[in-house]
């Protein structure tokens, strides 16, 4: 049995790295503090050149956390969502709808009279 076989006996290959951080230069980093609405405070380590987001998901509860030195992003004013009724009213007037309803009711009533 060789020396390498004895050293690796009982380990799972690929599961653990046997390299160390000696003689390596790590990329410059920055630590950013966040606080969520429930009071949890945590730190996220990012690359120094990375764009720091204003919000981050809380590691404890999953709520949206705000950067400690940041302000809430401004919400954009958009159009309210259109409902089916809104889209229908763009195509028809109330008088048109009442007319269509009367026609459909008459067709239904005529069908019931024939089957009865």
Q: What is the pTM of this model?
A: 0.45
- Is 76 assigned to a binding site? no
SS3 readout for the chain:
CCHHHHHHCCCCCCCCCCCCCCCCCCCCEEEEEEEECCCCEEEEEEECCCCCCCEEECCCCCCEEEECCCCCCCCCCCCCCCCHHHHHHHHCCHHHHHHHHHHHHHHHHHHHHHHC
CB atoms within 10 A of CB 23: 5
- Is 84 assigned to a binding site? no
- Mean pLDDT value of segment 69-94: 85
Q: What is the mean pLDDT of the chain?
A: 83
Q: What does the block give as tokens for 65?
A: 């956390």
Q: How far apart are CA 14 and CA 17, in angstroms?
A: 7
- Mean pLDDT value of segment 75-79: 80
Flag whether pLDDT at 8 surpasses 60. no
- Is 40 assigned to a binding site? yes
CB atoms within 10 A of CB 72: 10
- Is 61 assigned to a binding site? yes
Flag whether pLDDT at 16 surpasses 80. no
For 19-73, how does the pLDDT look when each residue is reduced to its tens digit (9 = 90+)? 676 777 778 999 999 999 898 999 999 999 989 998 899 988 989 899 988 776 6
Flag whether pLDDT at 87 surpasses 90. yes
Q: What is the pLDDT of residue 6?
A: 56
Classify domain 29-67 by CATH number: 2.20.28.270
Q: What is the pLDDT of residue 34?
A: 93
Flag whether pLDDT at 1 surpasses 60. no
CB atoms within 10 A of CB 27: 7
């Amino acid at each position: 049995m060789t020396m390498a076989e004895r050293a690796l006996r009982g380990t799972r290959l690929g599961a653990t790295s046997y390299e160390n951080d000696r003689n390596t230069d790590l990329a410059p980093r920055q630590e950013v503090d966040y606080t969520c609405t429930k009071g949890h405070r945590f730190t996220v380590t990012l690359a120094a050149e990375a764009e720091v987001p204003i919000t981050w998901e809380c590691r404890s509860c999953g709520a949206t956390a705000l950067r400690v030195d940041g302000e809430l992003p401004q919400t954009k004013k958009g159009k309210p969502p259109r409902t089916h009724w809104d889209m229908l009213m763009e195509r028809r007037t109330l008088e048109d709808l009442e007319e269509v309803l009367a026609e459909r009711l008459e067709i239904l009533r005529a069908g019931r009279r024939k089957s009865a």
